[in-house]
C-alpha cells in the first residue's frame, strides 16, 4: 500500500458549544485529487483551517504530512513543508499588479524559489497582456488564477483549494477544470472543496462528504453521490 502523504486522524474543533468538525479521519495518497463535499456549514473550511493552522489548529486529533506531525507546528512551517492552500473568500492584494503579487509570493514564500512569478503565471495561463493590471481591475477568474498561482509558488506537494469555482461563469469553470487537471498532472496532490458538484464529480478521483462536522461518506464520487444518506444531507440542508 502506498504511504499517505497526508493523514487526518480523529480531528475535532469546537467553538463554544458547537462542534464544527467532529472526529474526522481520512488519508490522502500522493498524487491523488480528493474532493470534499458537504452542505453549507458542514465544516469543510474549518477542516482546512485545522490542517493548515490558519488561523487555528484542532481541539483534538492529529494531522500527519509527509511522515511528520504538523498539528502543533506554526502555520508558516506547515506551508514551508509543502502544504499550500487558498481561501474561500477572495483575498485582496491592494496596490499591486498581478506580476508584483506573484513575485512577492515567490520571493517571500517559495520553498525552492526555482520557479519565478512569470513561470507560474505562464503555468496558470494568465494572459501576458494583463499582468501589469492592478489586481482590483482583474476579472473574477483572473483573481482566481492569481490566487492559485500564489499558492503554487510555494512549490507545494499538496494544494488545498476552498471553493475555487465560486462566482465563475460556465466557460470559466471549464477553464478552471482544465487548470486543475494540469496541476494534478504536474504531480501536485490536490484537496478540492467545491460547491459546483459537476466540477467536483468530474475531477475528483475520490470524494469525502461532511455533514454537521462529521464524515458522512467516502468513496468513488459516483457511488458517494448516490448514497441515500448523502442525498438526504443535501436535501435537508
Complex with ligand ADP: residue 85 or 131, whichever CB lies closer: 85
**How many of the chain's residues bind Mg ion (CB under 5 A)?**
3
Bridge partners, residue 159, by sequence: 84, 190
> 128-167 mask for ligand ADP (x: CB under 6 A)?
----------------------------------------
Complex with Mg ion: residue 173 or 193, whichever CB lies closer: 193
Binder of Mg ion out of 4, 22, 42, 45 (CB under 5 A): 45
**Cell of residue 201, nine digits:** 464529480
Q: Which stretch binds ligand ADP (CB under 6 A): 36-44, 63-71, 109-117, 143-151?
A: 36-44
Backbone angles phi, psi at 191, to 5 degrees: -110, 120
Q: Find all residues with CB under 8 Å of 50, minimum gap 6, and list them.
A: 11, 13, 21, 56, 57, 58, 61, 63, 71
Binds 110: which of Mg ion, ligand ADP, none (CB < 5-8 Å by kind)? none
3-state DSSP helix/strand/coil % of the chain, to nearest 5 = 40, 25, 35
**Cell of residue 34, nine digits:** 480528493
Q: Which stretch binds ligand ADP (CB under 6 A): 35-43, 104-112, 142-150, 229-237?
A: 35-43
Binds 42: which of Mg ion, ligand ADP, none (CB < 5-8 Å by kind)? ligand ADP
Task: Say how far apart CA 237 and CA 227 lie, in whole Å.
Answer: 16
Task: Say how far apart CA 1 and CA 120 lie, in whole Å.
Answer: 33
Query: Shortest Cβ distance from residue 110 to ligand ADP (Å)?
Result: 28
Note whether 81 and 154 are within 8 A (CB).
no
**How many of the chain's residues bind ligand ADP (CB under 6 A)?**
11
Task: Please list every residue from 39 through 58 that binds ligand ADP, using CB under 6 A.
Answer: 40-46
Map residue 67 onto helix, strand or coil.
Answer: coil
Bridge partners, residue 60, by sequence: 12
- Applying CB under 5 A, the residues found at the interface with Mg ion are 44-45, 88
- Applying CB under 6 A, the residues found at the interface with ligand ADP are 15, 18, 20, 38, 40-46
Amino acid at each position: 500500500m502506498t504511504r499517505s502523504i497526508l493523514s487526518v486522524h480523529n480531528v475535532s474543533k469546537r467553538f463554544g458549544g458547537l462542534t464544527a468538525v467532529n472526529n474526522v479521519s481520512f488519508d490522502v495518497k500522493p498524487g491523488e485529487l480528493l474532493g470534499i463535499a458537504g452542505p453549507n456549514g458542514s465544516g469543510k473550511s474549518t477542516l482546512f483551517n485545522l490542517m493548515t493552522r490558519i488561523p487555528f489548529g484542532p481541539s483534538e486529533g492529529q494531522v500527519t504530512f509527509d511522515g511528520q506531525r504538523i498539528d502543533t507546528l506554526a502555520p508558516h512551517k506547515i506551508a514551508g513543508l509543502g502544504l499550500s492552500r487558498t481561501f474561500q473568500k477572495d483575498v485582496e492584494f491592494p496596490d499591486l499588479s498581478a506580476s508584483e503579487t506573484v513575485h512577492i509570493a515567490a520571493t517571500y514564500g517559495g520553498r525552492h524559489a526555482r520557479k519565478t512569478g512569470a513561470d507560474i503565471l505562464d503555468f496558470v495561463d494568465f494572459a501576458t497582456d494583463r499582468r501589469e493590471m492592478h489586481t482590483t481591475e482583474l476579472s473574477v477568474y483572473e483573481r482566481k488564477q492569481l490566487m492559485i498561482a500564489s499558492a503554487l509558488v510555494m512549490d507545494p506537494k499538496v494544494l488545498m483549494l476552498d471553493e475555487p469555482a465560486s462566482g465563475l461563469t460556465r466557460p470559466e469553470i471549464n477553464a478552471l477544470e482544465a487548470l486543475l487537471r494540469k496541476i494534478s498532472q504536474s504531480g501536485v496532490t490536490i484537496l478540492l472543496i467545491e460547491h459546483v458538484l459537476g466540477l467536483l464529480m468530474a475531477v475528483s478521483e475520490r470524494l469525502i462528504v461532511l455533514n454537521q462536522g462529521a464524515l458522512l461518506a467516502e468513496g468513488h464520487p459516483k457511488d458517494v453521490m448516490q448514497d441515500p444518506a448523502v442525498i438526504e444531507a443535501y436535501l435537508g440542508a
